Amino acid sequence: MSLLPHFHKLPNEAAIWQDVEFGSYAADLPLWEQLAREAGGTVVELGAGSGRVTLHLARAGCEVLAVERDRELAEELERRGEGLPIHVVARDFVLADPPWPQLAPEGAGLVIAPLQVFQLLDEGERSQVLAAVTEVLSSGGRFAVALVDETTLADEGVAAAPRPDMRELEGWVYYSEPLWVQVSERTLRVRRLRERVSPHGDLVRRVHDDLLHRLSPEQLAEETERAGLAPLENRRVSSGPDEADSVVVLAERR
């Protein structure tokens, strides 16, 4: 049986899986809101996805420039953010076309990269993004990056995974079970089992991997300094017993 007659009415699949796996995560939201209020002005979110953080900040009264390279995710976020102070830009934030000053001509008071999105980038890509961040930040503006707190994972090998996530949407059931986190010398590989059940009981099951580059707060501080930013402090986000904690690294444009 074809799944398309039912599935076309829903948001795109990438947005649904983001909602299932991360939509209920709220441990970091108070910190992003606090930083946004302290900074004032425009907040730029890198890798905004389906809008978990962007929508929260906009509903709190912040003006947000949401950058998302997946065009379908960007379109979904634009739909969800209708009527809110959100400007969605569908572009790869590694690239500089159009130049950052055209996106935020008055500069940004805060640029954020939540949920380890910065660890999707290798060192060369991070260098390009940091150059762009330095360009878009106003004087005294801050860059805040969430990293996996590896002290809450196994040192090497395979770490235990948190409990499964599940969501029902218009008769469809989405189930995501984290299987393990494989810790190697340079990467963290997060493996999940994703299952989707149609209203008629058709099951689609597949394995999904997210690959993160290992990046310590100390290494990131060095990289931000090379890009012309001044390292500040680190903030810890406690996610509870079922999730790895995060360390948010802060830097400031001189």
> Which of 161, 67, 75 shows the shortest CA–CA distance to 118?
67
pLDDT tens digits, residue range 98-157?
Answer: 555 566 767 899 999 999 999 999 999 999 999 989 988 999 999 999 999 998 875 444
Check if the beta carbon of residue 126 is closer than 8 Å to that of residue 223: yes
The pLDDT value recorded for residue 30 is 98
Question: For the whole model, what pTM was predicted?
Answer: 0.90
CATH number of 152-212: 2.20.25
| Residue whose pair of structure tokens reads 């390009």 in the numeric block | 128
Q: Where are the domains of the chain?
A: 13-150+215-253, 152-212
Cα diameter, the chain: 59
pLDDT averaged over every residue in the chain = 88
Closest by CA position to 142, among listed 240, 249, 238: 249
The pLDDT tens digits of the residues spanning 180-222 come to 889 999 999 999 999 999 999 999 999 999 999 999 999 999 9
The vertex-64 CA angle with 62 and 66, nearest 5°, equals 155
106 CB contacts (<8 Å, ≥6 apart)? 41, 42, 138
With beta carbons less than 8 A apart as the criterion, state whether 207 and 235 touch: no
Identical fold at 13-150+215-253 and 152-212?
no
Least confident of 47-56, 74-83, 148-157: 148-157
pLDDT at 213: 98
The residue-averaged pLDDT of 54-67 equals: 96
What are the pLDDT digits (tens) for 214-254? Answer: 999 999 999 999 999 999 999 999 987 777 899 999 999 98
- CA gap 181, 179 in Å, rounded: 7
| Measured CA distances, 226 to 40, 117, 130, 166 (Å) | 26, 20, 9, 42
Fold for 13-150+215-253, please state it: Rossmann fold (3.40.50)
